[in-house]
Amino acid sequence: MLGTDLDADEFRAMIRGFLRAAPRPTGLRNYGPTPTADDVEPGRIWHKYLLEHGYACLHWPVVHGGSDAPVLAQAIFAEECAYADVPRQLAMTGIDLVGPVLIEYGSTEQQARYLEPLRTGDHIWTQLFSEPGAGSDLAAVRTKAAQTSNGWRVDGQKVWSSGAISAKYGLLLARTGTESHRGLSMFIVPMAAEGVRVEPIVQIDGESKFNEVFLDGVELAADALIGKIGQGWNIAMLTLGRERLTLGTQAVGMFKRHERMVDAACSRGRLDPVLARSMTRIWARMWLLRFTWQRAVADGDLSSPAFSVLKLMTSETDRDLGDLATDVLGTDVCTDPSTEQDGAELVHAMLVGRAQTILGGTSEIQRNILGERVLKLPKEPR
């Protein structure tokens, strides 16, 4: 178990040495928080290797197979995985979001049934929260769960569900009452249940990590409910914020892309004073973000307003860095990002960088949070 007296430098050196020596499964790549269908098998092998050496589910309590690691240790491990260019686990949704929900709100039976295969990487989960009319505004969820004599009947539609095509189960936020927040409840949905249909969404970068999920008269048992009726909003809030720990890994990725962009600009003879100035400015922003993240993580408080600032500024810095690909590549920016052509990696970074300001809470939502909850400004008219 990792204690609060953790020596950060010693722990970092240990993790770095472990990852450097670790064997890489064939086909493994750093796919980020969500594997594509092709990433699942090598990702699962890698996850089991981490598990075997005690580096899976670091934040879980020891009684559930974790290490009860402090925030700093979790952050260092995530950052070192980014440096090593490997995923830190099979998938984020199950380990980081569903696990803590079941540990906090799940029944003894639910914990016994779902936690272990989740911890070992045998089961992938997806998050069924966002809807076509309720993306960042979860209180507007319309998918309905109606009680029946045997349990629940679910009807509705979800969208942007990460990894749903490969998932065994889904964590579903559905409406069980008319009240905005208190009318929401949380359920476990077997993705192979009759009435569940998953349609992959092809992204602008050519990948299909997101999906639409249609729920047409899906019958759930009574024990599919997590917690109590009407606790869905509180449970959903527990799932938010775990991604804050990965902001440091995003910064690592930006530094790597910045270096590649400079190399590409030099090799193409495009690093003129104007582009060099832009590169220098964004480099300085990246270092400021990194130092802010280190201070926030050292404090160990995931509810700190610093993380809302970091989410906003990291997303927009990542977008701006990606946009520099147009200046670096010129007309080659039209390269297909899914190919092995020169410049394709930078084109991919440009396309994905734009998405960073949307996923995990849009920049507009982050500004509302900072204005209303941190600066105590008057609420936006709704």
Q: Any catalytic annotation for residue 243? A: yes
**Which residue pairs, CB below 8 angstroms and at least 24 apart, start in 175-183?**
175/141, 175/142, 175/143, 175/144, 175/145, 176/144, 176/145, 176/146, 176/147, 176/229, 176/230, 176/232, 177/229, 177/230, 179/230, 180/139, 181/139, 181/233, 182/230, 182/233, 183/230
- Taking the C-alpha atoms of residue 128 and residue 138, their distance in angstroms, rounded to an integer, is 11
Q: What is the dihedral of CA 83, 87, 89, 90, to 10 degrees?
A: 180
Q: What's the distance, Cα to Cα, between the start and end of the chain in Å?
A: 47
Q: How far is CA 174 from the centre of its chain?
A: 21
Q: Annotated catalytic residue: which of 243, 259, 316, 340?
A: 243
- Taking the C-alpha atoms of residue 264 and residue 311, their distance in angstroms, rounded to an integer, is 28
Place of tokens 């590549």: 329
Q: Are 28 and 46 in contact (CB under 8 A)?
A: yes
- Taking the C-alpha atoms of residue 107 and residue 120, their distance in angstroms, rounded to an integer, is 20
Nearest to 32 by CA among 200, 271, 152, 207: 207
Report, as residue numbers or ranges, the catalytic residues. Answer: 243
